[in-house]
Amino acid sequence: MKISSLFEQGRPLYSFEIFPPKRTAPVETIYHTLEQLDGLHPDFISVTFGAAGIITDKHNPLEIATMIKERCHTEAMMHLTCINSSRADIDEISADAQQRGIENILVLRGDRMPDIAPRTDFRYAEDLAAYLSRRGGFCLSGACYPEGHLDSPDLQSDIGYLRRKVDAGCSHLVSQLFFDNRFFYDFLDRARGAGIAVPISAGIMPVTSKSQIEKMITLCGASLPNKFAKMMQRYEHYPQALMDAGVAYAIDQIIDLVAQGVDGVHLYTMNNPGLARRITDSVSSLFKAGK
């Protein structure tokens, strides 16, 4: 089913993100993760696409998206980056996706890799959205950045480019993680003001360790509110306490977002079903209530 149809139910959607197993891990680890996540009944599960755009059979997001649909009977969304892909690569992957019945694709530019010269067929996610829209058959989502993308000169141009991505065919947006809901609400105001009317899911990442958050902040530039920074400082040497506090913080963010009428919450599970279960047990009823 297309994610755009799921949004027609008149309630916020609750979705998960997973990544393919590490190259050194047996592929069975992902079956185990999926079995456990599936029991939490998300509306859909998305699977990320390798950072350099390089995939092997074992780590193939197409295989994993198929598994989500066929084994878990849950809707799947496959991420697809284009910065290191030619038109022929995209044609091959999209034909395979169509054959497998994968209907939802999150179109992405991907990050520039210092040691790989980018291909020139697609410069931005917008170009991939336009290309796949012309091909037809997919429901396209795009990424958005409540605090602005790191490459953007300012928030206003960031929203302008986002509008172009939506106009090119994205019917849903998923946000980068953020730790202060005010950034998300301000972003929503800017997006709606710019005429972006599609549903926008809020990306929530629970903290599992100080190093994980530090790595994410370096990658995406999310700000740390004082309350969050204090929490990390206080519990950095107590892993269980830090995780407990992180789960409570994520639940708090989600309760506020749903109460404010968010279209959806996308939980970055980091392939940790235990963590996803703790959060889901506390918030699942919120997603059953209408908007």
User: Binding residues for ligand FAD, per CB under 6 A?
Assistant: 48-49, 51, 79, 81, 108-111, 124-126, 143, 149, 151-152, 158, 161, 164-165, 174, 176, 203
Alpha carbon 242 to its chain centroid, in Å, reads 23
Q: What is the smallest separation between the CB atom of 19 and ligand FAD, expressed in angstroms?
A: 7
Smaller CB separation from ligand FAD, 135 or 248:
135
Q: Residue 275 in contact with residue 245, Cβ under 8 Å?
A: no
Active site residue 17: yes
Q: Is 79 in a helix, a strand, or coil?
A: strand
- Residue 188, CA distances (Å) to 103, 108, 173, 212, 254 in order: 26, 20, 11, 27, 16
Active-site residue, from 17, 75, 103, 147: 17
R_g (Cα) of the chain, nearest Å: 18
CB-based contacts of 237: which residues, under 8 Å, 6+ apart? Answer: none
Q: What is the smallest separation between the CB atom of 163 and ligand FAD, expressed in angstroms?
A: 10
- Structure-block tokens of residue 114: 């210092």
Q: What is the smallest separation between the CB atom of 68 and ligand FAD, expressed in angstroms?
A: 14
Smaller CB separation from ligand FAD, 27 or 52:
52
Strands, DSSP E only, in the chain? Answer: 13-18, 44-47, 75-81, 104-108, 139-144, 170-177, 200-204, 264-268
Alpha carbon 44 to its chain centroid, in Å, reads 11
Q: What is the smallest separation between the CB atom of 161 and ligand FAD, expressed in angstroms?
A: 4
Q: What is the smallest separation between the CB atom of 69 and ligand FAD, expressed in angstroms?
A: 18
* Catalytic center residues: 17
